[in-house]
Structure 1
């Protein structure tokens, strides 16, 4: 984050978590968490998910923090999705169900924060990265940013229902269908046009834009913000697992096509899907 609304003399503390894969910067009233795997396009690894979950747990009772900003390092990606090597060796649908249950827990922790959460997006924001961004309260992006879930062309798995529902709530059903059924990425101007983004600005303006947004939030009534977030969560709370969804997840993650998708991705090849 730039100094912006916080002032050039503001004291900053930076912590490394998950062996440096998540950087946590603390300023008075504001925490910025940076996914720090630029060599892997900030792919969401299990250590990052664990560190993000722990951070949300610690922030839940911290009344001194008003805003959590999430961003990706390197200027190429917010996050290019989940770390695919995580799926190597996964052979049963039940393993996929368990993986998605863990991801749901992290998203619930993010959604339940009393703080306002902002995704500052510069570059690719797909897969698990898009899930994180959609569970934030607000999103700001650069014009070159792209959003999507191209899993039908890559891994051959399916989204857990809460991730799909949240994407549809943020981007609308039409764009969500385009992302998933046509494997198309949505650019920032289209995302802004449907209300998925609070703003679009050039890369060198991203920090000042977010700082201005943060400045307005920290001056607002904390109780109003916290209670409004509770109302919004109740209105759209769909993070619980359902037996029907787990069956779909198990079928996808246990399929030969999923194993082929993982193999091809790791090998840098195009997958050859065969199941219907």
Structure 2
């Protein structure tokens, strides 16, 4: 596996754990970190022994406490729009469309770009002490890495606008109640084991089926008129896969499938 300056990458069984490693900066996202995150996702996607991914932050204070604001100071409007577009495509959209399950293990503050990374993941697990928020309006800007769209998809228009317009942080348990968080654990020692256990449940299922399900869900979110048609298309394609043949054979033979 490659060595990164601002990230740690390790593999535990079939799980890749990506840790944003800028603890002294509360794991803030600067350009270098985002570029490395894009590169590590490409690396992990090509590793056949990896079936799932966890993204977390170093330490117990922050998952990612936002973007590195110092990098925003000199940008004009067109430069800022291009920055947003690049990291949409190279990081946030890449996570959302990743063909292997990706879980955000939220170990502390997930603010601004940090919450946007977490919302790009397929599942979110958080320590109960974590704080979540999109405080960009306090800087005179708005969320620029997908936050206005993904938060609305997860919690609905009213709650999303409340969070964005006030810029206030919410507790992890509020996020659980609103649908922003899937699971809350009480301690940091429980966080990675919970995320790993969720991924391991997917490893006994078809990787082909999981990748198709991720694609179908994403198409339905991005273009609702095409969601059902994409589901029909991918349902048919699954019937040509080795996983489908093994899954059906195992069911008929009353045994566990070997995917």
Q: TM-score range by the shorter chain?
A: 0.7 to 0.9
Compute the displacement of 1:163 (Å).
2.8
Q: Which has the higher helix share?
A: 2
Pick one of 34, 54, 74 that aligns with 2:59.
74
Contact (CA 8 Å) 2:16, 2:50: kept in 1 or not?
yes
TM-score, normalised via structure 2 length: 0.81
Query: Paired residue for 2:207?
Result: 222
Pick one of 10, 13, 26 that aligns with 1:25.
10
Contact (CA 8 Å) 1:59, 1:113: kept in 2 or not?
no
Compute the displacement of 1:196 (Å).
1.8
Residues 97 and 235 of structure 1: is their aligned pair in 2 closer, same or farther, counting only changes over 3 Å?
same
Query: Paired residue for 2:127?
Result: 142
Corresponding residue SS for 1:152:
helix
Compute the displacement of 1:171 (Å).
2.7
Compute the displacement of 1:117 (Å).
0.4
Pick one of 35, 38, 50 that aligns with 1:65.
50
> Whole-Å Cα distance in 1 between the matches of residues 68 and 83 of structure 2?
12
Contact (CA 8 Å) 1:151, 1:158: kept in 2 or not?
yes
Query: Paired residue for 2:180?
Result: 196
TM-score, normalised via structure 1 length: 0.76
Compute the displacement of 1:161 (Å).
8.0
1 or 2 for the larger relative contact order (CA 8 Å, sep ≥6)? 1
Compute the displacement of 1:37 (Å).
0.6
- Does residue 1:207 correspond to 2:192, yes or no? yes
Residues 161 and 122 of structure 1: is their aligned pair in 2 closer, same or farther, counting only changes over 3 Å?
closer
> Whole-Å Cα distance in 1 between the matches of residues 47 and 219 of structure 2?
22
Map 1:74-153 → 2, pairs under 5 A:
74-90=59-75, 92-105=76-89, 106-153=91-138
Pick one of 10, 24, 32 that aligns with 1:39.
24
> Whole-Å Cα distance in 1 between the matches of residues 189 and 58 of structure 2?
14
Query: Paired residue for 1:231?
Result: 216
- Does residue 1:53 correspond to 2:38, yes or no? yes
Unaligned runs of 5+ in 1: 1-12, 239-276
Compute the displacement of 1:211 (Å).
2.2
Unaligned runs of 5+ in 2: 224-259
Aligned residues: 221
Compute the displacement of 1:58 (Å).
2.7
> Whole-Å Cα distance in 2 between the matches of residues 177 and 130 of structure 1?
15
Contact (CA 8 Å) 2:107, 2:126: kept in 1 or not?
yes
Corresponding residue SS for 1:16:
coil
- Does residue 1:16 correspond to 2:3, yes or no? yes
Residues 205 and 117 of structure 1: is their aligned pair in 2 closer, same or farther, counting only changes over 3 Å?
same
Compute the displacement of 1:167 (Å).
1.2
